[in-house]
A and B are shown apart, each in its own frame.
Chain A
Amino acid sequence: MSFQVTKDQGATVVDVAGQLVVTNRQEFKQLVLDEIERGARLLVVDFSRSPYIDSSGLGALVSLGKRMREAGGELRLAGLNEDLRTLFELTRLDALFPIFASRADALVAQSAAN
């Protein structure tokens, strides 16, 4: 389980390698909060290397999405596998986040918005 932050086309991308669960949610949350504090206003969380998320991980995303909206930015999700898409549909969180098939799609959408 690890998180990697990169900058891509003006956006901040957080790559989640492994599950996002109760054991690492605080590390993930603090990492993203730090990026928001540094001025990130478009943040893409790339789940293409993540097998599953538990309720703690979902809760962290909800909290961060809210924080990002308050800061005038947007938190996007990318690379969800079929299982993770099911999870977001089950919890209706697919209505709360912009979800893209891939990191590239999430970044292209940024360009289109600009």
Chain B
Amino acid sequence: MRWWPNPQRTDVMSTRVSHREGAPENPFGDLAEWTIASDIQAIDHVVDGVISFCASAGFSARHRRFNVPIALTEALSNAILRGNQNDKSRRVHITSSVRITPENATLLIDVTDEGEGFDVDNAGGSPDSPDWLDREDGRGVFLMRSLMDRVECGPAAGDCGYTVRLILYRT
């Protein structure tokens, strides 16, 4: 918690960094977690933390300044505005972790809301849709898919909620 402490914020309920037993050495920790209220003003705080996490894990400058912040902002705003319907009493839980193998490292970001979820495969549109250019909304899922190597989604573990997982390989 030494690198993004902000105890005065009421929209950020908890922040935690931990080392899992047997996990590869990483001075920044290999698992970071946040729990935030459904308030879009909390998004920047989480994005800043995940970018710092990516830096310590050796992800490229382009990944840190472009791919991750945009895709994560989309996932968080979806969770807050769609999943939790902007209900500030509902929470969003975020975990960021890195899996390191001899060949590569993979960033996994899980964004879990307390909503019913949506079909990410059929959400949004495509730049090839006839009405694409004039639409004010509907690009979020497309951007997540374009900027990450993989996007997965499904019901969260436990009683309720929905998780979107962003997956990015270190290059």
Contacts and interface: CB of A to CB of B under 8 A. Distances in A.
Chain A partners chain B: yes
Given A21-B43, A90-B127, A60 B136 contact: yes
Given A22-B77, A92-B127, A92-B133, A51 B65 contact: yes
Interface residues of B, number: 26
Interface residues of A, number: 25
A54 B73 contact: yes
Contacts of B73: 21-22, 54
B135 interface: yes
Contact of A62 (B41, B81, B134, B142): B134
A96 to B, nearest CB: 5
Identify whether the interface residues of A are mostly helix, strand, loop, or mixed: helix
A48 interface: no
Contacts of B62: 83
B66 A52 contact: yes
A55 B133 contact: no
Interface in A55-114: 55-56, 58-60, 62-63, 66, 83, 86-87, 90-93, 95-96
